[in-house]
């Protein structure tokens, strides 16, 4: 059985974080393992509290999982602190499987959820805000997305996928892999129910990589899944509701 690992925070409302990752792994017929980095008190209206686990506890979880059931691929999400991020970056130097880093810096309501250096990785998946912060300049159109992708690759990511969900018009994600750019376009869906889209996208890519799917095809399948999950969202909650993980 194919195995994938997520290293991320817990969302008690079930729409993002560890919960979204595991649901996505299951949907892609992959056995999911989960290392928790932080615990949030949140619902669709926002995040009330964040408690980050001690770095040594996060590291111990990762070591225990990998030593017994090595994953075919892994991903990170919200890490909570620079200390946790640094521990994971050090461990990642010895990973013999692809690592997808979703550099979750904040929740949709602005609550801070991350920080620190990103681990050396096979794929980095920032949104426009995260890409801007990491590249050091504003990323808000196709040209700046391409410049940011090249810059982030030079900082340690083998491949970079910049998510353009906040662009005007179509939702266009840009992948920079092996020196080539690939665009993944989908029509924008007018809805407030988009909680966990980044988590679901990176988890779907991770699941496909664990199965041995080539990167470009893995991103294509993940994009298709997330688009369908947004379109068929269940309409739960009075705020930014979750996706349909059965899509």
Give the number of residues written for the chain: 247
Say which residue the tokens 């990973």 belong to. 95
The tokens describing 53, both together, are: 């686990």
Closest CA to 199 of 168, 181, 222: 222
133: DSSP letter: H
| DSSP code string of 36-59 | EEEEEEEETTEEEEEEEPPHHHHH
H-type alpha helices, 54-141: 55-68, 82-92, 128-135
Burial status of residue 68 (CB atoms within 10 A of its CB: 0-12, 13-18, 19 or more): exposed
Strands 171-177 and 157-162: antiparallel
Report whether 32 contacts 26 (CB < 8 A): yes
Provide the annotated active-site residues.
Answer: 163, 194, 196-199
Distance CA 4, CA 214 (A): 16
Tokens for 31, please give them: 């056995």
């Amino acid at each position: 059985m194919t195995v994938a690992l997520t290293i991320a925070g817990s969302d008690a409302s079930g729409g993002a974080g560890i919960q979204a990752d595991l649901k996505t792994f299951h949907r892609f017929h992959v056995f999911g393992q989960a290392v928790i980095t932080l615990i949030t008190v949140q619902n669709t209206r926002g995040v009330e509290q964040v408690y980050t686990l001690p770095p040594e506890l996060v590291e111990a979880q990762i070591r225990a999982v990998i030593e017994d059931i090595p994953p075919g691929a892994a991903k990170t999400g919200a890490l909570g602190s620079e200390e946790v991020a640094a521990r994971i970056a050090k461990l990642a130097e010895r990973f013999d499987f692809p690592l997808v880093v979703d550099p979750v810096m904040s929740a949709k309501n602005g609550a801070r959820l991350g920080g620190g250096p990103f681990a050396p990785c096979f794929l980095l998946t920032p949104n426009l805000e995260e890409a801007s912060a990491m590249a050091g300049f504003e990323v808000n159109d196709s040209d700046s997305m391409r410049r940011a992708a090249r810059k982030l690759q030079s900082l340690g990511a083998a491949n970079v996928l910049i998510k353009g969900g906040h662009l005007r018009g179509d939702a266009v994600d840009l992948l920079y892999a092996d020196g080539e750019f690939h665009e993944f376009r989908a029509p924008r869906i007018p809805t407030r129910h988009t909680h966990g889209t980044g988590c679901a996208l990176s988890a779907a890519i991770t699941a496909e990589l664990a199965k041995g799917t080539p990167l470009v095809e893995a991103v294509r399948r993940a994009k298709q899944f997330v688009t369908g999950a947004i379109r068929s969202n269940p309409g739960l909650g009075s705020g930014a509701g979750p996706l349909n993980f059965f899509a």
